[in-house]
Amino acid sequence: MAVLQGEYVGLFDIVTDKDFRRRGYDRRLVSGLLQWAKENGARRAYLQVTLDNEAALSLYSGLGFIEAYRYWYRIKKYS
With respect to residue 72, please indicate whether it lies within any of the assigned structural domains.
Answer: no
Per-residue pLDDT, 73 = 83
What pLDDT, in 10s, does the model give residues 5-23? Answer: 999 999 999 988 889 888 9
Measured at the CA of 30, the angle between CA 29 and CA 34, to 5 degrees, comes to 120
In a domain, 30, yes or no: yes
Residue 7 lies in a domain: yes
Q: Which residue has the higher pLDDT, 78 or 45?
A: 45
Per-residue pLDDT tens over the stretch 21-51: 889 999 999 999 999 999 999 999 999 999 9
Q: 7 lies in which domain range? A: 2-62
Q: Could you tell me the pTM of the whole model?
A: 0.83
Can you give the pLDDT at residue 33? 97
* CATH number of the domain bearing residue 8: 3.40.630.30
CA dihedral sign of residues 54, 55, 61, 67:
negative
Number of domains present in the structure of the chain? 1
